[in-house]
Structure formats: C-alpha cells, structure tokens
C-alpha cells in the first residue's frame, strides 16, 4: 500500500471511530450508516482538504452529508 492510500485508510478509520463515539453507536452501525450514504467514498475523495479539519468539524460535515443524501431519497 502506498503512503497516500495508507494515510487515507488511517483517516477513514479515525472518522469512523470519532463518529461512532460521538453518536454512541457500535462500529458496525457506524459502518452501515456511513456506507449506506456514501460517506466513506466522500471522505476518501476529499481527503486532501478534509484531513486538515477538526474532529468536531468532520462530524458536523458527515452529519450534513448524510442529511443531504437522505433528502435526495425523498
């Protein structure tokens, strides 16, 4: 695995852990939610910008992303 892919994997792992802890849900529930709405792809695609943001900012951004995806379903 090259350095950038490894950095992205660590970042995704960090985001999953922080999100599950903030929401008080299990890791599997967090993964299911983040996968269902394409959050992991979004985080990986925008890694260069997002990895410089704070934990709280990331959680709020993830929530906003999920809300937008849910609205698209309606």
DSSP for 12-65? HHHHHHHHHHHHT--HHHHHHHHHHTTHHHHHHHTHHHHTTS-HHHHHHHHHHH
Does residue 5 lie in a domain region?
no
Average pLDDT, the chain: 96
Does residue 3 lie in a domain region?
no
- What pLDDT does residue 73 have? 87
Does residue 55 lie in a domain region?
yes
Query: What's the pLDDT tens digit per position in 19-73?
Result: 999 999 999 999 999 999 999 999 999 999 999 999 999 999 999 999 999 999 8
Count CA atoms closer than 13 A to 9's CA, side-chain side: 6
Q: pTM of this prediction?
A: 0.91
CA dihedral of 48, 49, 51, 54, whole degrees rounded to 10: 170
> Over 90: is that where the pLDDT of 9 sits?
yes
Domain count, the chain: 1
Does residue 21 lie in a domain region?
yes
């Amino acid at each position: 695995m090259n350095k950038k892919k490894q950095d992205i994997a660590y970042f995704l792992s960090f985001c999953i852990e922080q999100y599950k802890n903030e929401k008080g849900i299990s890791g599997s529930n967090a993964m299911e939610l983040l996968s269902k709405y394409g959050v992991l792809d979004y985080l990986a695609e925008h890694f260069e910008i997002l990895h410089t943001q704070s934990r709280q900012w990331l959680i709020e951004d993830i929530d906003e992303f999920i809300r937008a995806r849910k609205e698209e379903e309606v």
